Amino acid sequence: PGLLKQSRIFFTRDLLSKLSDMQYILISLLGPPLLAFLLAYFTRYSDDGIYRFSENDNITPYLFMCIITALFFGLMVSSEEIVRDRKILRRESFLNLSWFSYLGSKVMLLFIISALQTISFTLIGNLLLGIKGMTFSFWFVLFTTSCFANIIGLNISAALNSVVTIYIIIPFIIIPQLLFSGVLVRFEKLHLANYSSPEYVPLVGDVMTARWSFEALAVAQFRYNAYERNYFESRAGVSQQEYNIILINSLRNHLQQVVACREREEYLDNMENRFYKLGFHIAELSASAAIVPGKWKEDLSPERFRTETAKEADAWLDSLKGIYSDLKKQAVRKENGISSRLVEELGEEGLVRLREDNENKWLRNLLLSHDRRELTGESDRRIIRKYEPAYMKSTSKWGRAHFYAPVKRIGSLEIDTYWFNIAVVWAASVFFLVLLYFNLIRRLLEYIENLRLPKVDS
């Protein structure tokens, strides 16, 4: 039979086998909604007995548990699929049946199961916790995550010989997702923080599906809820002007340090970095404000720096601060105009209710880093923005970004974080699907098993 007919036969056989196993059906289809009920019920926190979505400080942990649950169920339903069929596959091998058709039928059925699991999980969880207007956004992230776990589970099932070994391996997949997702342990608090760029998520975070999925979920809930989506662009504008003022204050501090320490030999290496930062960020701020600094900028070096240079640079920074203060006022007026329009449409009580029903202040504080004192960070050559990361666009043109960036960049193209992250997870799924098709993980393990240590002559 042709590939399509083989796929249909494999799919039908697999489906009938699963439908005949009542225990499998109960666990696979009733497990996710039951778990959603338990998670949502026990995280539905209220101080005074009156539940308010905006005041529930368990929303962030709930979102992360959703991601881990999707990974777990995706692995659970797929990790025995191929190892369980191995005897049948050996028996049918003489028929030269298509491995592609077999895998295609497996993947299709598992994706259908994952779709049912994640939609039931999303509907019940969102209903109990009062998460409004985000059903598709939540479901698609969880479905994408579960599909990735399906492919990983199939790879494990194809590579290993026993179910016991498979279930020993699963914690080694889940635990790194917990540790390196940036949620339980902040990236800058990891032991490897000193060896990675302070500007972007560490590479170990970039290879964790939980990081991409949780970030997509959190950014979507923050940015696209029915309240914040009215304000996001204007508030991002206010935040940018506020950061420009913070950056100017930081540059003036660097300038004072240069004046105080420029003649001390022990600070010469440090001074060179300070001069570079001053030159780089003054050029950046001047270009943003569309004004050109004077010739004094050429004197921002250890060899040419003079007291007059410091005075001219400080005066220039002061004038830039005035410009950005005016731009901030314009951005604030724009935000106030949006509030006035919404009050006209909904009334003051309606606007308050819109905010309470849709914006969670604890998630907002997390994404805007309002619980942190550091407004900036430092690298050797740059001052790194830490202020309100969810309003800050990424500086990398290669898709890398800080955690909770609203958009990612590929060249000059800006892509919404939600869709970019989902695309990354699907790309990873395709990569592991190719590994599965060529059975590369099993071949690698067999190669390692066949290695023999050289005998030592006695």
Contacts of residue 150, Cβ cutoff 8 Å, sequence gap at least 6: 74, 75, 77, 78, 107, 110, 111, 114
Residue 62 corresponds to which tokens in the numbers above?
């709930």
- The pLDDT assigned to 457 comes to 57
Residues 200 and 241 in one domain: no
- The pLDDT assigned to 269 comes to 65
Does pLDDT of 158 surpass 90?
yes
- The pLDDT assigned to 95 comes to 84
Does pLDDT of 453 surpass 60?
no
CA distance 351 to 357: 10
Mean pLDDT confidence for 102-106: 97
Tally of domains in the chain = 2
Contact 409, 415 (CB under 8 A): yes
Residues 272 and 209 in one domain: no
Query: What is the per-residue pLDDT across 253-288, written as a single tens digit (0 to 9) for each?
Result: 999 988 887 666 655 667 888 899 999 999 999 999
Does pLDDT of 31 surpass 80?
yes
Residues 15 and 143 in one domain: yes
- The pLDDT assigned to 178 comes to 97
Residues 201 and 277 in one domain: no
* Maximal C-alpha separation, the chain: 93
- The pLDDT assigned to 91 comes to 87
Nearest to 179 by CA among 208, 213, 203, 199: 208
- The pLDDT assigned to 272 comes to 83
Residue 398 lies in a domain: yes
- The pLDDT assigned to 120 comes to 98
Confidence of residue 65 (pLDDT cuts 50, 70, 90): very high
Nearest to 212 by CA among 67, 18, 342, 373: 67
Residues 221 and 233 in one domain: no
Residue 129: domain span: 3-225+421-449
Percent of the chain, pLDDT > 70? 96
Does pLDDT of 79 surpass 60?
yes
Residues 314 and 202 in one domain: no
Residues 179 and 265 in one domain: no
Residues 41 and 161 in one domain: yes
Does pLDDT of 138 surpass 80?
yes
Confidence of residue 192 (pLDDT cuts 50, 70, 90): confident
Query: What is the per-residue pLDDT across 224-260, written as a single tens digit (0 to 9) for each?
Result: 999 999 999 999 999 999 999 999 999 999 999 888 8
Nearest to 244 by CA among 190, 280, 288: 288
Mean pLDDT confidence for 5-20: 95
Residues 114 and 237 in one domain: no
Query: What is the per-residue pLDDT across 295-337, written as a single tens digit (0 to 9) for each?
Result: 888 888 888 888 899 999 999 999 999 999 999 999 999 999 9
Mean pLDDT confidence for 386-404: 95
Q: Residue 340, Cβ neighbours under 10 Å: how many?
A: 10
- The pLDDT assigned to 68 comes to 98
Residue 454 lies in a domain: no
- The pLDDT assigned to 198 comes to 84
Q: Distance of CA 23 to CAs 28, 31, 38, Å?
A: 8, 11, 21
Does pLDDT of 163 surpass 90?
yes
Residue 455 lies in a domain: no
Residues 186 and 240 in one domain: no
- The pLDDT assigned to 175 comes to 97
Does pLDDT of 421 surpass 70?
yes
Residue 458 lies in a domain: no
- The pLDDT assigned to 379 comes to 86
Mean pLDDT confidence for 77-101: 91
Residues 381 and 440 in one domain: no
Does pLDDT of 48 surpass 90?
no
Residue 297 lies in a domain: yes
- The pLDDT assigned to 363 comes to 98
Q: Residue 368, Cβ neighbours under 10 Å: how many?
A: 19
Residue 331 lies in a domain: yes
Residues 17 and 32 in one domain: yes
Mean pLDDT confidence for 397-406: 96
Q: Residue 328, Cβ neighbours under 10 Å: how many?
A: 19
Confidence of residue 194 (pLDDT cuts 50, 70, 90): low
- The pLDDT assigned to 456 comes to 57
Residue 80 lies in a domain: yes
Mean pLDDT confidence for 180-186: 95
Confidence of residue 193 (pLDDT cuts 50, 70, 90): low
